[in-house]
A and B are shown apart, each in its own frame.
Chain A
Amino acid sequence: METTISERKNTEPILRVEHLKKYYTYGNGFLSHRKTVIKAVDDVSLSLYPGETLAIVGESGCGKSTTAKSIIRITDPTEGTITLHGKDFGKLSGKELKSARQKIKMIFQDPYSALNPRMTVRDIIAEPIDISGSYRTQAEREEKILEACDMVGLNRDYLDRYPHEFSGGQRQRIGIARAIIEKPDVILCDEPVSALDVSIQAKVINLLKELQDKLGVSYIFISHDLSVVRHVADRVMVMYLGHVVEEGSRDDIFNSPKHPYTRILLDSIPSIGKEMPEDEQQLIAGDLPSPENPPSGCCFHTRCPHCSEQCRNTAPALTEVPGQPGHRMACFC
């Protein structure tokens, strides 16, 4: 489903997010007036085109899940606009929000906690259409359930069972069936395979790709596993401490990564046949800084091997790599 940049100029993005910010504040005990602000997501913009997969990668705490939750408004963003199908999704409320949400769905990481243990599989899958009321008769409801069930390869006989009777992979299928029953245009997948074993993971990834071909749905695919991302993504965004540090097509990111963090991330993946670096210098030093007290200047400078004086003082802007349209990164180097 690769579309070139020139083709894209003619198509409108389904989803456009501009300058999204999500700050959490909390007090330091009830006698203190000081408030601590955590900038979980700090100025993230993205566009999602029909039928494509945009992956967001980064380590824990980089803000990738918060970005997804803010887009679908599980938590309301602090600032920024979200445009879905040309409508200002960020400003909707009540009935309008409910009906707009039919077109945007989410799949969660942990299939054990994402399904209500006291509901049957049939009711879990039907919950979105029960909420939106998009059927007239019980027969129509059943028809929709069976269609979703077949599409994800779930045995129809299992519909009256409860989630605890299923394995992780099967539960994830139930979660996916629930997400596609209303034929959405956008599905946010938050680490959909990281709780699964490799042999099961492969099946779920294949299923997601198959559904994209059939339904033309766009994915925002959040993952920390770069080898999975390389397999599913058309475009990739790399996040670090709430900021986007690099974005580009899959080939840009994996074949010619420009930001030092992206390069280190790619080097850190253990894979078969790859030897461990002989020298400690090749490893990234230190831990992720605390988001309570983020570094000044470039957010990555505390761990960057190429850090200079400029990096410590000023934050680099996300700019296009010369000669590579669509490939942008935030670094002075």
Chain B
Amino acid sequence: MSENTEKNILEIRDLNVDLFTERGVLPVLSHINLNLKEGEILGVVGESGCGKSMLASAIMGLVDKPGKITGGEILFDSEDLVSAGKKRLQEIRGNAISMIFQEPMTSLNPLMSCGKQITEAILAHKKISRKEASSQALEMIRSVGIPMPEKIFDAIPSRLSGGMRQRIMIAMALCLKPRLLICDEPTTALDVTVQAQILYLIKKLRKEFKTTVIFISHDMGVISQMSDRVAVMYAGQVVEIADKKDIFSMPSHPYTVGLEAAIPKMDSDTDKLESIPGSVPMLYELPEGCLFSTRCSHCTDQCKLKRPELTILDEAYPDHLVRCINKDCLAVQHSS
């Protein structure tokens, strides 16, 4: 995936989102820079409150009060979404970019049949007859692997199980063949066996529809199965981004290292789990220097003074970016 001929479908440049609250202006996202190549799956991983869902909202143009995009650009096919008008955003949303949410029941209309909801989504963007739209909707329900699609077409969402509802959400998100699909924790509310089915389905369909995917999750295991590249977020910043195999074989930000060590592994017998000291700082008490400095075991005086930039780890790995001034000392640990 490293050929230069591939063009970026999405470029986020220096994006800032602030929350305007009684406690002052709080930075939820600061200096986000991301590029997304056509056809890839970018995994975004981080703990609750790190800003991963806000990133999805910003791309969709759904940042609402008290939040506001205060700087930067989101270029989708070279068109800036931050400065785009409401009408233009409505054209793009659900059509060229669409999204799957965590809790399918709260994002589906409980009073409207599943088929009708998908039909409405198609009609909102395409000038075709209702009959045509509903036959397309039925086709879509079939392609997400729902048994007896004709029956489910007329069922209201509360009649369906969690896994089925999430399939309906996926059908709705993909019915207009979007070029970019954002999945915000799509399997967190599901059981493992159903999760495996849904993950498989997303991977299969994105091949079929040639969709680029941003896959947001807190689960490192899920991210490792789904992604081509992985971005690790902490307190509103991307702290590390690299190809999947690099991020797991040579994690270079102390936070990524800590996050991986904290997961109980199926193939190790350690008695005590590693944990990261402290907890994620609140947005109103962010440290002045590196955001991770309060919890980092490699923290030096310099870390406390200045926020580090996202820089290339090593000339040999131009795609592996890390936001840490001590990254070399961690890199040495890997090679030894």
In whole Å, how far is B51's beta carbon from the nearest beta carbon of chain A? 14
**In the bound complex, do residue A284 and residue B193 qualify as a contact, i.e. CB atoms below 8 Å apart?**
yes
Contact of A270 with B225 at beta-carbon distance under 8 Å, contacts A287-B161, A287-B194 already known: yes
Known: A59-B191, A198-B220. A227 touches B266 (CB 8 A): yes
**Does B83 touch A at the CB level, under 8 Å?**
no
Q: A198-B218, A273-B248, A287-B163 are in contact. Are A268 and B192 (CB under 8 A)?
A: yes
Complexed CA–CA distance, A269 and B264 (Å): 12
Do A270 and B264 touch (CB < 8 A)?
Answer: no
- On whether the beta carbons of B274 and A283 are closer than 8 Å, the reply is no
Question: Which residue of the partner chain, among A224, A227, A272, contacts B224 with CB atoms under 8 Å?
Answer: A272
Pick the contact of A280: B195, B200, B224, B265 (CB < 8 A).
Answer: B200
Pairwise interchain contact B276-A199, C-beta atoms closer than 8 A: yes
Question: Is A183 part of the binding interface, using a Cβ–Cβ cutoff of 8 Å?
Answer: no
Chain A interface extent, by class: 35 or more
A247 to chain B, nearest CB (A): 19
Binary contact track B124-167/A, C-beta < 8 Å → 1, others 0: 00000000000000000000000000000000000001011000
Stretch at the interface among B29-37, B112-120, B255-263, B325-333: B255-263
Chain B 184-226, CB-CB to A under 8 Å as 1, else 0, gives 0000000111111101100110000000000000111110111
Which of B164, B224, B266 is within 8 Å of A287, CB to CB? B164
Chain A, residue nearest B262 (CB):
A202
Assuming the A-B contacts A209-B272, A265-B193, A276-B203, are A199 and B262 also in contact, with contact meaning beta carbons closer than 8 angstroms in the complex?
Answer: yes
Say whether A312 faces chain B, with CB atoms less than 8 Å apart: no
| Interfacial chain A residues near B221, Cβ < 8 Å | 227, 269-272, 274
Q: How far is the CB of A60 from chain B (nearest CB, A)?
A: 6
A157 within 8 A of B: no
Complex Cα gap A292–B191 (Å): 19
Within 8 Å CB of B264, what residues of A?
Answer: 202, 205, 227-228, 230-231
Specify the chain A residue showing the minimal Cβ separation from B196: A268
- Asked if A175 is an interface residue, CB under 8 A from chain B, the answer is no
In the bound complex, residues from chain B placing their C-beta under 8 Å from that of A7 are none
Please tell me which one of the listed residues B191, B199, B259, B265 contacts residue A270 in the complex, with CB atoms under 8 A apart: B199
Contacts of A224 in B (CB 8 A): 191-192
- Given A206-B272, A271-B266: A265 and B224 within 8 A (CB)? no
Proximity bits, A19-41, B CB within 8 Å = 1, else 0: 00000000000000000000000
Give the complex CA separation of A198 and B275 in angstroms: 9
For chain B, which range describes its interface: under 10, 10 to 19, 20 to 34, or 35 or more residues? 35 or more
Distance in Å: Cβ of A249 to nearest Cβ of chain B? 14
Would you call B47 an interface residue if the criterion is a C-beta within 8 Å of the partner chain's C-beta atoms? Answer: yes
Residues of chain A in range 213-269 having any CB-CB distance to chain B below 8 Å: 224, 226-228, 230-231, 254, 264-265, 267-269
- Closest-CB distance, B301 to chain A (whole angstroms): 25
Residues of chain B within 8 A (CB-CB) of A274 are 221, 224-225
- Asked whether any CB of chain A lies closer than 8 Å to the CB of B271, the reply is yes
User: Does B48 make an interface contact (CB < 8 A)?
Assistant: yes
Contacts of A200 in B (CB 8 A): 275, 279
Interface membership of chain A positions 63-103, coded 1 if the CB is closer than 8 angstroms to chain B and 0 otherwise: 00000000000000000000000000000000000000000
Partner of A271 from the list B200, B203, B224, B258 (CB cut-off 8 Å) is: B224
Q: Which residues of chain B have C-beta atoms less than 8 A from A203's C-beta?
A: 275
Q: Is A163 an interface residue (CB 8 A)?
A: no
Interface: B273 (CB within 8 A): yes
How far apart are the CA atoms of A271 and B265 in the complex, in Å?
8
Q: Which residues of A contact B218 (CB under 8 A)?
A: 197-198
> How distant is the Cα of A69 from the Cα of B323 in the complex, in angstroms?
47
In the complex, chain B residues 278-317 whose Cβ is within 8 Å of any chain A Cβ: 279-280
Q: Give the complex CA separation of A268 and B279 in angstroms.
A: 30
What is the CA–CA distance of A239 and B312 in the complex, to the nearest angstrom? 49
- Max chain B Cβ within 10 angstroms of own Cβ: one of A228, A272, A275, A280: A272
Contact of B196 with A284 in the complex, beta carbons under 8 Å: yes
A283 touches B196 (CB 8 A): yes
Closest to A286 in B: B147
CB distance from B190 to the nearest CB of A (A): 9
Q: Is the CB of B199 within 8 A of A265?
A: no
A167 within 8 A of B: yes
A268 to B164, CA, bound (A): 18
A169-B248 in contact given A201-B262, A202-B262 (Cβ < 8 Å): no
In the complex the two chains form, what is the Cα distance from A263 to B324 in whole Å?
A: 42
Q: Which residues of A contact B272 (CB under 8 A)?
A: 206, 209
Q: Report the bound CA distance from A226 to B193 in whole Å.
A: 12
Q: Please tell me if the beta carbons of A276 and B265 are within 8 angstroms of each other in the complex.
A: no
**Known: A270-B195, A283-B196, A284-B197. Is A209-B275 also a contact (CB below 8 A)?**
no
A230: B residues at CB distance < 8 A: 264, 266
Distance in angstroms between the alpha carbons of A201 and B262 in the assembled complex? 8
Q: How far is the CA of A284 from the CA of B226 in the complex (A)?
A: 18
Q: Which B residues are in CB contact (< 8 Å) with A206?
A: 272-273, 275
From A197, A254, A275, A280, give the contact of B225 (CB < 8 A): A275
| A199 adjacent to B192 (CB under 8 Å) | no
Q: Which residues of B contact A59 (CB under 8 A)?
A: 191-194
Kindly state the separation between the CA atoms of A264 and B266 in the bound complex, as whole angstroms: 15
Across the interface, name the chain A residue whose C-beta is closest to B271: A209
- Note all chain A residues with C-beta closer than 8 A to B224: 270-274
Query: Apart from A197-B48, A227-B221, A270-B222, what are 18 other A-B pairs with CB-CB below 8 Å?
Result: A59-B192, A169-B279, A198-B262, A199-B258, A200-B279, A206-B273, A231-B273, A268-B196, A269-B192, A270-B224, A271-B265, A271-B266, A272-B224, A272-B260, A280-B200, A280-B204, A284-B196, A287-B194
Binding site for A on B (CB under 8 A): 47-48, 161, 163-164, 191-197, 199-200, 203-204, 218-222, 224-226, 248, 258-260, 262-266, 271-276, 279-280
By Cβ-Cβ distance, the 9 closest A-B pairs, closest first, are: A270-B221, A59-B191, A202-B273, A202-B275, A231-B264, A197-B47, A202-B262, A199-B276, A268-B196
